[in-house]
Chains A and B, each alone.
Chain A
Amino acid sequence: MTKKHVSRTEGESKGEKMTEKPKVAWYWCASCGGCEESFVDLAERLLKVFEAVDIVFCPVAMDFKREDVEKLPDGSITVALINGGIRLKEHEEMVKLLRRKSKIVIAYGACSAWGGIPGLANLYDLDEVLERKYMEVPTVENPKEVMPTKKTIVNIPEAGIKAEIELTEPLPVLLPLDKVIEVDYYIPGCPPTPDVFWNALQALLSGNLPPKGSVLGASQRSVCDECPLNDTKPEKVLVKEFKRPDKAAPKPNECLLAQGFLCMGPVTRGGCKSLCPQANMPCTGCFGMLDGIVDYGGKAISTFGSILNYSPLEEKEIKEAYGKVPDWVGVIYRYSLAASKLGHKAGLKKPKRIKEVTEL
């Protein structure tokens, strides 16, 4: 079997040579770069990674282009790790391309798995998002209301310049990766911790592939299982109010949920070693839902409603308790709105603000 050497991995692998190493692609969609940092956070273990694999596509690190992927034979990429939510048409096109070219596609991180924080944009019309981003935020001065344009024509006849720049356009809602292509595995986290990533890699490289659709590298149990505060819980976890960490100080060494803080730990997959609760901050849920749960926010509603200890005759107290939290959807769907059963707000309108053509 001849191997075509197609990777541009100078400086990243041990020189150009015929290799049987698994080929790895790394792509980012609507991403903050945190997942890339988690990769780097492998620290010394990175060297082992570079020894073991060939990186054939990694635009964050080097000047890879779409053509580099198109040139590869279908199925020749062993594993494509894709992070970030599918926000733009370009993302959609790239991930579909990578799917064709890859044996295994992994949704890396909360955004590609469930839409992540960018998914919260699905509560707004795209026009609202664009206006906020390009006109309303305090750091922007845009008096001419310049908005993204699909095609910009630059015409300077004196200089003999006539050029067209094409910009991709956003999709009306942000999608998680598995709503666009078939996904083989998920690595959870915002970002996945280096240990989780490492565990996932071990599972992949071991040859013993878990069932398709599995979440790799993390726990089958919730964050509570690894949280030292779990043992401090009273016999019954029941609260009379919900607290926010910006308004009330969590007592150290006591279970945050039992104190009334909206700790998502019980609803969230473990594997992170409960980093946030151990820093006295309630878990926000970045490792997503456990197996068998179909809607993370729905489950969170069920849990929080269960522990708020009032009878239906105390409707006023119940409404007051819920009223203390200004943004419930933000709390329960912070990382998973796009993957929720509803996925986005009802009645959204297609954007009008994106122009087709601008001539400069």
Chain B
Amino acid sequence: MSDFEPKIVVYACNWCTYAATDLAGTSRMSYPENVRIIRVMCSGRVDPQFVLQAFADGADGVIVAGCHPPADCHYIEGNYKAFRRFELFKKVLETFGIEKERFRLEWISAAEASRWVQVVNEMVAELKKLGPLKKNLEVKE
């Protein structure tokens, strides 16, 4: 499994997390290549359907990231809805036997480029230990 490179899909909100990922770039921070970032205007836009599609297509991990509650959301409360939806989503993932390390809901503000890098590094390390999700979704002997 030393060759296994997990693929992580990230839904990043425009005003906070996406800006942080940009800042990581401007600051020439270094992190693994495993993430693919999809820009949304608000973490409140992220539908659990997208996350399930990502897992079904082969994502080993998914991150949904937005602005810190209670007051940072550019659209006031989009992150509240994201939080509530993904609390339930996590319960459902558990019933499906999917390891909780594979999904993260993170709050990363526009200034927190190092937090972004930390999250990526952590998740890549955890997923390398867990292995590809596709393997877990097959029916085993």
Contacts and interface: CB of A to CB of B under 8 A. Distances in A.
Interface stretch (B3-11, B18-26, B28-36, B76-84): B76-84
A347 B98 CA distance: 8
A322 B51 contact: no
A27 to B, nearest CB: 26
A305 B141 contact: no
Contact of A322 (B77, B87, B137, B139): B87
B95 A123 contact: yes
Contacts of A308: 84
A298 B90 CA distance: 11
B49 A293 contact: yes
A174 to B, nearest CB: 12
Given A312-B79, A328-B92, A341 B47 contact: no
Interface size bucket, B side? 20 to 34
A344 B70 CA distance: 36
A312 B80 contact: yes
Interface in B96-116: 96-98
Contacts of B87: 305, 315, 318-319, 322
A294 B69 CA distance: 29
Contact of A312 (B55, B70, B139, B140): B70
Contacts of A347: 97, 136, 140
B70 A311 contact: yes
A108 interface: no
B58 to A, nearest CB: 12
A295 B52 contact: yes
Nearest to B69: A312
B140 A311 contact: no
Interface in A181-233: none
Interface of chain B, helix or strand or loop or mixed?
A: helix
Given A346-B96, A346-B97, A347-B140, A306 B49 contact: no
A342 B56 contact: yes
Nearest to B56: A341
Contacts of A301: 48, 85, 88-89, 92
A328 B42 CA distance: 26
Contacts of A322: 87-88, 91
A22 to B, nearest CB: 37
Contact of B96 (A310, A318, A329): A329
A305 B86 contact: yes
A298 B136 contact: no
A350 B89 CA distance: 27
A227 B69 CA distance: 37
Nearest to A322: B88
A14 to B, nearest CB: 49
Nearest to A327: B95
Nearest to B50: A298
Contact of A310 (B79, B84, B97, B137): B84
Centre residue among B69, B83, B84, B96 by max chain A CB count within 10 A = B84
Interface in A297-315: 297-299, 301-302, 304-306, 308, 310-313, 315
A312 B92 contact: no
Contact of A329 (B52, B70, B92): B92
A120 B1 CA distance: 32
Contacts of B48: 295, 298-299, 301-302
Contacts of B49: 293-295, 298-299, 302, 341
Nearest to A313: B70
Contacts of B140: 347-350
Contacts of B55: 341-342
Sort A-B residue pairs by CB-CB distance and give the 10 closest, nearest first: A305-B85, A298-B49, A341-B52, A312-B69, A341-B56, A305-B84, A346-B97, A312-B83, A298-B48, A346-B136
Interface of B: 47-49, 51-53, 55-56, 69-70, 77, 79-81, 83-89, 91-92, 95-98, 133, 136-137, 139-141
Given A302-B47, A319-B87, 5 more contacts: A123-B96, A295-B49, A305-B87, A344-B137, A344-B139
Interface of A: 123, 172-173, 293-295, 297-299, 301-302, 304-306, 308, 310-313, 315, 318-319, 322, 328-329, 332, 340-350
11 contacts: A172-B139, A298-B52, A299-B48, A301-B48, A302-B47, A305-B85, A318-B84, A341-B52, A342-B98, A344-B137, A345-B97
